[in-house]
Structure 1
Amino acid sequence: MSFDPQSQFAYDERLGIPTPRLTKDWNEFTAREQSEILYFWETVRGAIPDRIFAFEREIVDLQSRLDEEENFDLVCEMTWDIAERASRINDLHLYFRLNQDVATKAHH
């Protein structure tokens, strides 16, 4: 039976990437399975800077629109949207660093 590393990930709509959803403790995977999971995660991790950049562009766009907006309700909504995108960027940074920690442990 072949191991599918993608089965250890679930697509996160909010972040726009698959995120780890390991079905067992890391040490319970074989060395080969760990390697395959890390390889798959490395491809996902490579897309994280692009996702961050996309959210940053959305924030810049919202901020420029916010400067022109006079409707208080819309200002509140745009401010919330900016905060939500900033939260996504923060979460993506955490996932980006996650791989560094896991990869370091796996190689030691």
Structure 2
Amino acid sequence: MGAYRFDWNERLRIRIPVLEMEWEQYETTVQLTIVEQWELIRGTIPDRVMELEQLINEKQAQLFEEDSFEQSCILNYEIADYASRINDLHIWYRIDQQLESRRHS
């Protein structure tokens, strides 16, 4: 039986799977356990994306009203950071499809 864990990622605010072997090396029962645990985590990703989208909307509204160039730069940086997090969450959200297709090949 191979080792695996789910580590907390503060930036994305979800647990990320850490597999210490290639997926194919895990026994089928372990693969199923990993997929089940990941499905629970994966199910929270759309809500997390919506939270970040709301933060982007708030920052964009602040940016629209902002007269200070320096503050505008800070807001733009924060918007880009939130957008990057959303992109990463979308990538993690698709991981399940990759695990499923590997399991069935």
Q: Same fold (TM over 0.5)?
A: yes
**Aligned partner (choices 52, 66, 70) of residue 69 of structure 1:** 66
1:51 Cα shift?
0.5
Gaps of 5+ in 1: none
Q: Which has the larger strand fraction?
A: 2
CA RMSD of aligned residues (A): 1.4
State the partner residue of 1:59.
56
Instruction: Quote the Cα distance in structure 1 between the aligned partners of 2:41 and 2:104.
Output: 19
1:29 Cα shift?
1.2
1:26 Cα shift?
1.1
Task: Count residues in correspondence.
Answer: 104
1:18 Cα shift?
0.6
| Identical positions, percent | 38
**Aligned partner (choices 69, 80, 84) of residue 83 of structure 1:** 80
1:21 is paired with a residue whose SS is strand
Residues 1-108 of structure 1: pairs in structure 2 closer than 5 A: 7-108=4-105
Between 39-48 and 95-104, the greater mean CA deviation after superposition = 95-104
Gaps of 5+ in 2: none
2:15 is paired with a residue whose SS is strand
Instruction: Quote the Cα distance in structure 1 between the aligned partners of 2:29 and 2:98.
Output: 18
Note the alpha carbon deviations across 1:32-53, whole angstroms, 9 max, x for none. 1100000000011100000100
Instruction: Quote the Cα distance in structure 2 between the aligned partners of 1:94 and 1:29.
Output: 23
Scaled by the length of structure 1, the TM-score of the pair is 0.90
